[in-house]
Structure 1
Amino acid sequence: MEPGKNLAIKVPLHRWSETVAFYRDKVGLTVTRELDTSIGFEFGNMTLWIDRVPQQSQTDVWIELFDDDPDAALSRLGSPIRDELEPLTNVVGHWTSDPAGTVILLRREQMS
């Protein structure tokens, strides 16, 4: 198991614009990708995503882990399957969480 390439901060709608401005204007991170509800920033060799989540009332940090066998890794971790969180399109893996509730995307890395 190893760290993935993405970190996400899930931000309530009423905090999204100021959070994006904070990382772009005050921290000085470079925007690498803009989507309808997300902005990606260069964060070392990772991408930090600031995701706008209208139905959310608090901020969450989600992380990504890679493993060649996500099912076996999930079993080793003893963590719950949380696949209801977001659709996993073209991804081999699962959403799960650590004991503190931090959401983890545990997946096989896609080779380019």
Structure 2
Amino acid sequence: MIGPGRNIAIKVPLHRWDEMVAFYRDRIGLRVARQMRDSIGFDFNGFTLWLDRVPHQAQADLWLELFSDDPDAALARLGSPLRDELEPLEGVTGHWTSDPAGTVLLVRQPREGET
């Protein structure tokens, strides 16, 4: 079974970073849930909308998270390419892949308490 995860990420080019943070924080009014050096997470109605600062990015890119008890079987079912070179998956059982339009998907096992 495959279902939505709790994280949505927008990979943001360096030259758009301040404008993007201000847009979601100040114009939309989303509450900051977590902040790190190159990422800021906003509460998005029970989900976390992450803005990730990516210096080598030319344009914004949307990445989505999916949950599956068996990420290998989910990947086979989706018929999607393995894209594990995108980012390291430390402490996560899953795989990076993409949909037919190229949207990056993280298909992973939920941790205890995540659903």
TM bucket by the smaller chain? Answer: over 0.9
Q: Tell me the residue number matched to 1:29.
A: 30
Q: Tell me the residue number matched to 1:109.
A: 110
What is the rounded CA distance, in whole Å, between the counterparts of 1:19 and 1:59 in structure 2? 10
**Structure 1 length-normalised TM:** 0.99
Unaligned segments of structure 1, at least 5 residues = none
Q: Tell me the residue number matched to 2:101.
A: 100
- Report the count of equivalent residues: 112
Deviation, 1:45, is 1.0
Q: How does 1:39-50 map to 2 (within 5 A)?
A: 39-50=40-51
What is the rounded CA distance, in whole Å, between the counterparts of 1:110 and 1:89 in structure 2? 13
Deviations 1:9-38 (A, max 9, x none): 000000011100000000000001000000
Unaligned segments of structure 2, at least 5 residues = none
**Structure 2 length-normalised TM:** 0.96
Q: Tell me the residue number matched to 1:63.
A: 64
3-state secondary structure, aligned to 1:109: coil
Deviations 1:61-99 (A, max 9, x none): 000000000000000100001001000000000000000
What amino acid sits opposite 2:101 in the alignment?
Answer: A
Identity %: 67
Q: How does 1:6-25 map to 2 (within 5 A)?
A: 6-25=7-26
